[in-house]
Amino acid sequence: MLRLQKKAYFYNQKQEVEGAFVNAIVLASGGLDSTVAAAVAKQQGWDLFLLTVVYGQRHHVEVTCAKNVASWVGACDHKIFHLDLSAFGGSALVGEGAVPKNRSESERGQGIPVTYVPARNTVFLSLALAFAEAVRARSIFIGANVLDYSGYPDCRPEFLAAFENLARLGTKMGIEGQSVEIKAPLLQLSKAQIIQRGIELGVPFELTHSCYDPNEVGVACGQCDSCLIRLEGFRQAGLVDPVPYRIP
């Protein structure tokens, strides 16, 4: 372990001397969007450092998926960070109330759903920013999407722009003129377009998980907002989703 840490240290020192910062952090949930975002970062030539947050969500199959994705993209490192947001509550994803099922597109477009986790992306991006400073990464990739965001306020472009400004003002790297960019390459794409982009990049969608309410062995429900949006995206792309569902 010590040998690996020393190797990373000298590698990053070399990058700094040459003025070439090629490390990037990817927030990797194990989901479809974050995996395509990781594939985009990989195609762009970044050395990838993945961060997965175990935040007290009601299921953990996505963490296993994130590990598989990290292996697939050839990540330099994959941190799994435990931070129990269920202590605050306020979301169906951390066990407070039922996950909504079989909602129509119009219903999904009204208000902020109970699956919103208070300030989750703010917390996740803050952790990614700390990771970025530690490994001298110049970019943080996030799979945020404004078209299929289901009303989540922390997936909007103005939020991401504000956080990028925060990163510039509140870090040593930013003060030194090496600010961290927040990259959301899927921000303006429909779910079908995201899937098509993933196909172009060879993304193994069978390794990903999107369901809010899987069963005890991790099989997706096929009825929650996330499942419905994902399934509709595959249909619109003219493809079949390779993951199993309890309700086909």
Q: Domains of the chain: which residue ranges?
A: 21-236
Q: Do the bridges between strand 139-141 and strand 23-27 make them parallel or antiparallel, or are there none, so unpaired?
A: parallel
Give the pLDDT confidence of 32-91 residue by residue, as tens digits. Answer: 999 999 999 999 999 999 999 999 998 889 999 999 999 999 999 999 999 999 999 999
Give the pLDDT confidence of 181-223 residue by residue, as tens digits. Answer: 999 999 999 999 999 999 999 999 999 999 999 999 999 999 9
For residue 12, which of 2, 28, 1, 24 has the smallest C-alpha distance?
A: 24
Rounded distance between C-alpha atoms, residue 189 and residue 5, angstroms: 38
For residue 203, which of 172, 242, 164, 155 has the smallest C-alpha distance?
A: 242
| pLDDT exceeds cutoff 70 at 243 | yes
State the pLDDT confidence band at 230, using cuts at 50, 70 and 90.
very high
Written as six digits, the tokens of 55 are 């935040």
Rounded distance between C-alpha atoms, residue 213 and residue 201, angstroms: 28
pLDDT at 110: 83
State the pLDDT confidence band at 96, using cuts at 50, 70 and 90.
confident
| pLDDT exceeds cutoff 80 at 237 | yes
pLDDT at 147: 77
Give the pLDDT confidence of 66-78 residue by residue, as tens digits. Answer: 999 999 999 999 9
| pLDDT exceeds cutoff 50 at 1 | no
SS3 track for the chain: CHHHHHHHHHHHHHHHHHCCCCEEEEECCCCHHHHHHHHHHHHCCCEEEEEEEECCCCCCHHHHHHHHHHHHHCCCEEEEEECCHHHCCCCHHHCCCCCCECCCHHHHCCCCCCCCCCCHHHHHHHHHHHHHHHHCCCEEECCCCCCCCCCCHHHCHHHHHHHHHHHHHCCHHHHCCCCCEEECCCCCCCHHHHHHHHHHCCCCHHHCCCCCCCCCCCCECCCEHHHHHHHHHHHHCCCCCCCCECCC
CATH superfamily of 21-236: HUPs (3.40.50.620)
Average pLDDT over residues 118-131: 97
CA angle 51, 230, 77 (to 5 degrees): 15
Rounded distance between C-alpha atoms, residue 61 and residue 23, angstroms: 27
pLDDT at 108: 85
| pLDDT exceeds cutoff 90 at 234 | yes
13 in Cβ contact with 39 (< 8 Å): no
| pLDDT exceeds cutoff 60 at 9 | no
| pLDDT exceeds cutoff 80 at 16 | no
Give residue 111's identity as a one-letter amino acid code: G
**Rounded to 10 degrees, what is the CA torsion of 180, 181, 182, 187?**
-170
State the pLDDT confidence band at 149, using cuts at 50, 70 and 90.
low
- What is the average pLDDT score of the chain? 90
pLDDT at 10: 34
